[in-house]
Amino acid sequence: MTAPAAPTISREEWLAKAQTLSEALPYMRRYDGKIIVVKYGGHAMGNPELARQFANDIVLLKQVGAYPIVVHGGGPQIGKLLDRLQIKSEFIDGLRVTDKDTMEIAEMVLSGSINKEIVALINDAGGDAIGLSGKDDDLIEARKATRTRRDPDSNIEKVIDLGFVGEPFRINPQILHKLRNAGFIPVIAPIGIGEDGQTYNINADTAAGAIAAAMDATRLLLLTDVAGFLNKEKELVPGLSVSAARAAIADGTASGGMIPKLETCMDAVVGGVEGAVILDGRVPHAILLEIFTEGGAGTLIGTK
Protein backbone atom coordinates (compact mmCIF):
# COMPACT_ATOMS: atom_id res chain seq x y z
CA MET A 1 0.00 0.00 0.00
CA THR A 2 1.21 3.53 -0.71
CA ALA A 3 1.86 5.62 2.37
CA PRO A 4 -0.77 8.30 3.01
CA ALA A 5 0.29 11.77 1.79
CA ALA A 6 1.85 13.66 4.71
CA PRO A 7 0.13 16.98 5.45
CA THR A 8 2.27 20.12 5.22
CA ILE A 9 2.92 22.45 8.13
CA SER A 10 4.13 26.04 8.51
CA ARG A 11 7.57 26.81 10.00
CA GLU A 12 6.01 28.40 13.14
CA GLU A 13 3.60 25.53 13.78
CA TRP A 14 6.37 23.00 13.28
CA LEU A 15 8.73 24.76 15.70
CA ALA A 16 6.06 24.64 18.43
CA LYS A 17 5.39 20.92 17.82
CA ALA A 18 9.09 20.06 17.52
CA GLN A 19 9.80 21.62 20.90
CA THR A 20 7.13 19.43 22.54
CA LEU A 21 8.30 16.38 20.62
CA SER A 22 11.93 16.75 21.58
CA GLU A 23 10.94 17.16 25.22
CA ALA A 24 8.71 14.06 25.09
CA LEU A 25 11.26 11.85 23.32
CA PRO A 26 13.26 10.71 26.39
CA TYR A 27 10.04 9.44 28.01
CA MET A 28 9.02 7.68 24.82
CA ARG A 29 12.27 5.66 24.65
CA ARG A 30 11.15 3.75 27.74
CA TYR A 31 9.64 0.92 25.69
CA ASP A 32 12.33 0.76 23.00
CA GLY A 33 12.72 -2.89 21.96
CA LYS A 34 9.82 -4.01 24.21
CA ILE A 35 6.76 -5.99 23.16
CA ILE A 36 3.36 -4.49 24.02
CA VAL A 37 0.23 -6.57 23.39
CA VAL A 38 -2.89 -4.42 23.13
CA LYS A 39 -6.34 -5.99 23.26
CA TYR A 40 -8.82 -3.73 21.52
CA GLY A 41 -12.30 -4.60 22.78
CA GLY A 42 -15.46 -4.50 20.72
CA HIS A 43 -16.96 -1.90 23.06
CA ALA A 44 -13.90 0.34 22.74
CA MET A 45 -14.28 0.43 18.92
CA GLY A 46 -17.54 2.39 18.79
CA ASN A 47 -16.29 5.97 18.30
CA PRO A 48 -14.59 6.77 14.93
CA GLU A 49 -12.44 9.61 16.35
CA LEU A 50 -11.20 7.40 19.22
CA ALA A 51 -10.59 4.57 16.74
CA ARG A 52 -8.42 6.89 14.64
CA GLN A 53 -6.51 7.96 17.78
CA PHE A 54 -6.08 4.31 18.75
CA ALA A 55 -4.51 3.61 15.34
CA ASN A 56 -2.22 6.68 15.63
CA ASP A 57 -1.09 5.58 19.11
CA ILE A 58 -0.26 2.06 17.87
CA VAL A 59 1.81 3.54 15.04
CA LEU A 60 3.54 5.90 17.49
CA LEU A 61 4.52 2.96 19.73
CA LYS A 62 6.12 1.32 16.69
CA GLN A 63 7.90 4.55 15.74
CA VAL A 64 9.46 4.90 19.21
CA GLY A 65 10.93 1.40 18.97
CA ALA A 66 8.34 -0.84 20.66
CA TYR A 67 6.71 -3.81 18.94
CA PRO A 68 2.93 -3.42 19.29
CA ILE A 69 0.76 -6.47 18.66
CA VAL A 70 -3.00 -5.88 18.44
CA VAL A 71 -5.49 -8.59 19.41
CA HIS A 72 -9.07 -7.50 18.85
CA GLY A 73 -12.53 -8.44 20.07
CA GLY A 74 -15.85 -7.75 18.45
CA GLY A 75 -18.44 -9.21 20.82
CA PRO A 76 -21.05 -6.43 20.28
CA GLN A 77 -20.58 -6.63 16.49
CA ILE A 78 -21.08 -10.43 16.53
CA GLY A 79 -24.16 -9.86 18.71
CA LYS A 80 -25.63 -7.40 16.17
CA LEU A 81 -25.29 -9.80 13.25
CA LEU A 82 -26.69 -12.69 15.31
CA ASP A 83 -29.68 -10.48 16.18
CA ARG A 84 -30.25 -9.65 12.52
CA LEU A 85 -30.18 -13.35 11.71
CA GLN A 86 -32.43 -14.03 14.72
CA ILE A 87 -29.92 -16.39 16.31
CA LYS A 88 -30.10 -16.29 20.10
CA SER A 89 -26.89 -15.92 22.11
CA GLU A 90 -26.15 -16.75 25.73
CA PHE A 91 -23.11 -15.89 27.88
CA ILE A 92 -21.76 -18.00 30.72
CA ASP A 93 -19.00 -16.38 32.83
CA GLY A 94 -18.46 -13.81 30.05
CA LEU A 95 -18.10 -16.49 27.33
CA ARG A 96 -20.50 -16.77 24.41
CA VAL A 97 -21.98 -20.25 24.15
CA THR A 98 -21.08 -21.06 20.54
CA ASP A 99 -23.00 -23.53 18.38
CA LYS A 100 -22.17 -24.29 14.72
CA ASP A 101 -24.08 -21.29 13.27
CA THR A 102 -22.72 -18.92 15.89
CA MET A 103 -19.18 -20.13 15.18
CA GLU A 104 -19.64 -19.37 11.50
CA ILE A 105 -20.88 -15.83 12.22
CA ALA A 106 -18.20 -15.16 14.86
CA GLU A 107 -15.43 -16.14 12.43
CA MET A 108 -16.93 -14.02 9.63
CA VAL A 109 -17.19 -10.96 11.83
CA LEU A 110 -13.86 -11.32 13.67
CA SER A 111 -11.53 -12.56 10.91
CA GLY A 112 -13.44 -10.68 8.21
CA SER A 113 -14.97 -7.27 8.76
CA ILE A 114 -13.45 -6.23 12.11
CA ASN A 115 -9.95 -7.49 11.43
CA LYS A 116 -9.78 -5.67 8.11
CA GLU A 117 -11.31 -2.49 9.56
CA ILE A 118 -8.53 -2.26 12.17
CA VAL A 119 -5.84 -3.15 9.62
CA ALA A 120 -7.09 -0.33 7.36
CA LEU A 121 -7.16 2.16 10.27
CA ILE A 122 -3.55 1.43 11.23
CA ASN A 123 -2.43 1.55 7.59
CA ASP A 124 -4.18 4.90 7.19
CA ALA A 125 -2.25 6.14 10.23
CA GLY A 126 0.98 5.26 8.41
CA GLY A 127 1.71 1.82 9.93
CA ASP A 128 2.23 -1.45 8.04
CA ALA A 129 -0.52 -3.55 9.58
CA ILE A 130 -1.20 -7.12 8.60
CA GLY A 131 -4.29 -9.09 9.62
CA LEU A 132 -4.15 -12.64 10.95
CA SER A 133 -6.39 -15.01 12.82
CA GLY A 134 -5.22 -17.78 15.11
CA LYS A 135 -5.51 -20.08 12.09
CA ASP A 136 -2.73 -18.34 10.14
CA ASP A 137 0.42 -20.44 10.49
CA ASP A 138 -1.38 -22.23 13.39
CA LEU A 139 -0.73 -19.16 15.54
CA ILE A 140 -3.33 -20.14 18.19
CA GLU A 141 -3.91 -23.86 18.73
CA ALA A 142 -7.01 -24.31 20.85
CA ARG A 143 -9.10 -26.97 22.50
CA LYS A 144 -12.62 -27.02 23.81
CA ALA A 145 -13.12 -24.90 26.91
CA THR A 146 -15.46 -26.03 29.66
CA ARG A 147 -16.81 -24.47 32.80
CA THR A 148 -18.28 -26.14 35.86
CA ARG A 149 -21.13 -25.16 38.16
CA ARG A 150 -22.01 -26.53 41.59
CA ASP A 151 -25.63 -27.62 41.72
CA PRO A 152 -27.04 -25.93 44.87
CA ASP A 153 -29.41 -28.83 45.65
CA SER A 154 -27.11 -31.83 45.18
CA ASN A 155 -23.84 -29.90 45.77
CA ILE A 156 -22.42 -31.83 42.80
CA GLU A 157 -20.10 -30.05 40.36
CA LYS A 158 -21.57 -30.14 36.84
CA VAL A 159 -19.73 -29.57 33.56
CA ILE A 160 -21.32 -26.90 31.34
CA ASP A 161 -20.97 -27.37 27.57
CA LEU A 162 -20.02 -24.08 25.88
CA GLY A 163 -19.99 -25.55 22.35
CA PHE A 164 -17.11 -24.34 20.19
CA VAL A 165 -15.63 -21.98 22.76
CA GLY A 166 -11.91 -22.62 22.76
CA GLU A 167 -8.98 -21.96 25.05
CA PRO A 168 -5.46 -21.67 23.68
CA PHE A 169 -3.19 -24.59 24.58
CA ARG A 170 -0.26 -23.73 22.29
CA ILE A 171 0.84 -20.48 20.67
CA ASN A 172 3.20 -20.77 17.70
CA PRO A 173 4.71 -17.28 17.73
CA GLN A 174 7.23 -17.74 14.86
CA ILE A 175 5.07 -15.72 12.47
CA LEU A 176 4.98 -12.83 14.97
CA HIS A 177 8.80 -12.80 15.19
CA LYS A 178 9.04 -12.83 11.38
CA LEU A 179 6.57 -9.95 11.11
CA ARG A 180 8.53 -8.01 13.74
CA ASN A 181 11.74 -8.42 11.74
CA ALA A 182 9.93 -7.31 8.60
CA GLY A 183 8.51 -4.19 10.31
CA PHE A 184 4.81 -5.16 10.34
CA ILE A 185 2.19 -4.57 13.05
CA PRO A 186 0.14 -7.77 13.49
CA VAL A 187 -3.61 -7.47 14.06
CA ILE A 188 -4.97 -10.76 15.36
CA ALA A 189 -8.56 -12.10 15.42
CA PRO A 190 -9.28 -14.42 18.39
CA ILE A 191 -10.10 -17.53 16.39
CA GLY A 192 -8.29 -20.78 17.22
CA ILE A 193 -7.64 -24.00 15.36
CA GLY A 194 -8.03 -27.41 17.01
CA GLU A 195 -5.79 -30.44 16.44
CA ASP A 196 -8.67 -32.00 14.51
CA GLY A 197 -9.09 -28.87 12.36
CA GLN A 198 -12.07 -27.57 14.35
CA THR A 199 -12.51 -23.78 14.45
CA TYR A 200 -12.84 -22.31 17.96
CA ASN A 201 -14.24 -19.02 19.22
CA ILE A 202 -11.86 -17.65 21.85
CA ASN A 203 -12.57 -14.76 24.19
CA ALA A 204 -10.35 -11.96 22.91
CA ASP A 205 -8.90 -11.17 26.36
CA THR A 206 -7.87 -14.82 26.75
CA ALA A 207 -6.28 -14.84 23.28
CA ALA A 208 -4.37 -11.61 24.01
CA GLY A 209 -3.07 -12.99 27.32
CA ALA A 210 -1.82 -16.19 25.69
CA ILE A 211 -0.06 -14.21 22.94
CA ALA A 212 1.50 -11.85 25.52
CA ALA A 213 2.87 -14.75 27.58
CA ALA A 214 4.23 -16.59 24.49
CA MET A 215 5.94 -13.41 23.26
CA ASP A 216 7.37 -12.48 26.71
CA ALA A 217 5.60 -9.16 26.39
CA THR A 218 6.49 -6.34 28.77
CA ARG A 219 2.93 -5.08 28.90
CA LEU A 220 -0.52 -6.47 28.21
CA LEU A 221 -3.15 -3.74 27.84
CA LEU A 222 -6.84 -4.65 27.79
CA LEU A 223 -8.84 -1.71 26.43
CA THR A 224 -12.49 -1.75 27.40
CA ASP A 225 -15.47 0.52 28.13
CA VAL A 226 -15.03 0.97 31.88
CA ALA A 227 -12.34 2.89 33.81
CA GLY A 228 -10.78 -0.41 34.96
CA PHE A 229 -11.70 -2.86 37.71
CA LEU A 230 -14.29 -1.23 39.98
CA ASN A 231 -14.78 -2.23 43.63
CA LYS A 232 -18.17 -2.81 45.30
CA GLU A 233 -18.53 0.98 45.76
CA LYS A 234 -17.93 1.36 41.99
CA GLU A 235 -14.60 3.14 42.56
CA LEU A 236 -11.63 2.50 40.29
CA VAL A 237 -9.02 0.21 41.85
CA PRO A 238 -5.61 1.32 40.51
CA GLY A 239 -3.70 -1.82 41.52
CA LEU A 240 -4.72 -5.40 42.27
CA SER A 241 -2.66 -8.39 43.40
CA VAL A 242 -3.27 -11.81 41.86
CA SER A 243 -4.86 -13.05 45.10
CA ALA A 244 -7.15 -9.98 45.33
CA ALA A 245 -8.21 -10.51 41.69
CA ARG A 246 -9.04 -14.16 42.45
CA ALA A 247 -11.09 -13.08 45.50
CA ALA A 248 -13.00 -10.48 43.40
CA ILE A 249 -14.14 -13.24 41.02
CA ALA A 250 -15.05 -15.60 43.86
CA ASP A 251 -17.13 -13.01 45.78
CA GLY A 252 -18.89 -11.68 42.67
CA THR A 253 -17.34 -8.15 42.65
CA ALA A 254 -16.16 -9.06 39.14
CA SER A 255 -18.87 -10.48 36.91
CA GLY A 256 -19.58 -11.03 33.20
CA GLY A 257 -16.84 -9.80 30.87
CA MET A 258 -14.65 -8.71 33.82
CA ILE A 259 -14.09 -12.38 34.76
CA PRO A 260 -12.09 -13.39 31.64
CA LYS A 261 -10.24 -10.05 31.88
CA LEU A 262 -9.02 -10.67 35.42
CA GLU A 263 -8.27 -14.34 34.67
CA THR A 264 -6.24 -13.25 31.66
CA CYS A 265 -4.29 -10.65 33.63
CA MET A 266 -3.53 -13.15 36.41
CA ASP A 267 -2.36 -15.81 33.92
CA ALA A 268 -0.27 -13.24 32.04
CA VAL A 269 1.64 -11.94 35.07
CA VAL A 270 2.12 -15.43 36.48
CA GLY A 271 3.32 -16.41 32.97
CA GLY A 272 6.02 -13.71 33.03
CA VAL A 273 4.39 -10.59 31.56
CA GLU A 274 5.69 -7.63 33.63
CA GLY A 275 2.36 -5.86 33.96
CA ALA A 276 -1.21 -6.43 32.78
CA VAL A 277 -3.57 -3.46 32.76
CA ILE A 278 -7.33 -3.10 32.28
CA LEU A 279 -7.98 0.41 30.99
CA ASP A 280 -10.62 2.68 29.54
CA GLY A 281 -10.57 2.76 25.74
CA ARG A 282 -13.00 5.72 25.82
CA VAL A 283 -10.31 8.01 27.25
CA PRO A 284 -8.33 9.85 24.54
CA HIS A 285 -4.84 8.34 24.10
CA ALA A 286 -5.44 5.80 26.90
CA ILE A 287 -2.56 3.63 25.63
CA LEU A 288 -0.04 6.48 25.72
CA LEU A 289 -1.18 7.59 29.18
CA GLU A 290 -0.70 4.07 30.50
CA ILE A 291 2.61 3.41 28.79
CA PHE A 292 4.39 6.71 29.29
CA THR A 293 3.16 8.13 32.61
CA GLU A 294 4.26 7.22 36.12
CA GLY A 295 0.86 6.40 37.61
CA GLY A 296 -0.43 4.83 34.39
CA ALA A 297 -4.16 4.47 33.85
CA GLY A 298 -6.79 1.89 34.73
CA THR A 299 -6.10 -1.16 36.94
CA LEU A 300 -2.65 -2.77 36.99
CA ILE A 301 -2.60 -6.43 37.97
CA GLY A 302 0.74 -7.42 39.49
CA THR A 303 2.24 -10.49 41.14
CA LYS A 304 2.10 -9.08 44.68
Ligand X SMILES: CC(=O)N[C@@H](CCC(=O)OP(=O)(O)O)C(=O)O
Under a CB-based contact definition with an 8 Å cutoff, are residues 141 and 204 in contact? no
Residues 4, 183, 256, 272: which binds ligand ADP (CB under 6 A)?
256
Contact 270, 242 (CB under 8 A): yes
Interface positions, 82-101, toward ligand ADP (CB under 6 A): 94
Which amino acid is it at 91?
F
Give the SS3 label for residue 219: strand
By C-beta, is 75 or 173 nearer to ligand ADP? 75
3-state secondary structure of 138: helix
Answer yes or no whether residue 203 interacts with ligand X by CB under 6 A. yes
**For ligand ADP, which residue of 81, 230, 283, 289 counts as binding (CB under 6 A)?**
230
For ligand X, how many residues bind (rule: CB under 6 A)? 16
Residues from 68 through 107 that contact ligand X (CB under 6 A):
73-75, 78, 95-96, 106
**Distance from the Cα of residue 172 to its chain's centroid:** 18
Q: Report d(CA 83, CA 133) in Å as an integer.
A: 24
266 three-state secondary structure: helix
Instruction: Name residues contacting ligand X, limited to 147-166 (CB under 6 A).
Output: 165
Among 68, 75, 131, 166, binds ligand ADP (CB under 6 A): 75
Task: Check if the beta carbon of residue 75 is closer than 8 Å to that of residue 42.
Answer: yes
Q: Which does 183 bind (CB under 5 to 8 A by kind): ligand X, ligand ADP, none?
A: none
> Does residue 123 interact with ligand X by CB under 6 A?
no
Task: Return the number of the residue (28 or 245) whose C-beta is nearest ligand ADP.
Answer: 245
Among 31, 43, 185, 298, binds ligand ADP (CB under 6 A): 43
Q: Is 298 in the site for ligand ADP (CB under 6 A)?
A: no
| Partner that binds at residue 225, options ligand ADP, ligand X, none, CB closer than 5 to 8 Å by kind | ligand ADP
- Minimum distance, C-beta of residue 285 to ligand X, in the bound complex (Å): 20
54 in helix, strand or coil? Answer: helix
For residues 74 and 296, which CB has a smaller minimum distance to ligand X in the complex?
74
How many helices (H) and strands (E) would you count in the chain?
10, 14
Nearer to ligand X, 42 or 209 (CB): 42
Closer to ligand X by CB, 72 or 219: give it.
72
Asked if residues 182 and 108 have their Cβ atoms less than 8 Å apart, the reply is no
- Assess contact for 168 and 206: CB atoms under 8 A: yes
226 binds ligand ADP (CB under 6 A): yes
Using CB under 6 A, which residues numbered 13 to 32 contact ligand X?
A: none
Distance of alpha carbon 146 from alpha carbon 210, whole angstroms: 17
Task: Say whether residue 50 binds ligand X (CB under 6 A).
Answer: no
Q: 72 - beta bridge partners? A: 40
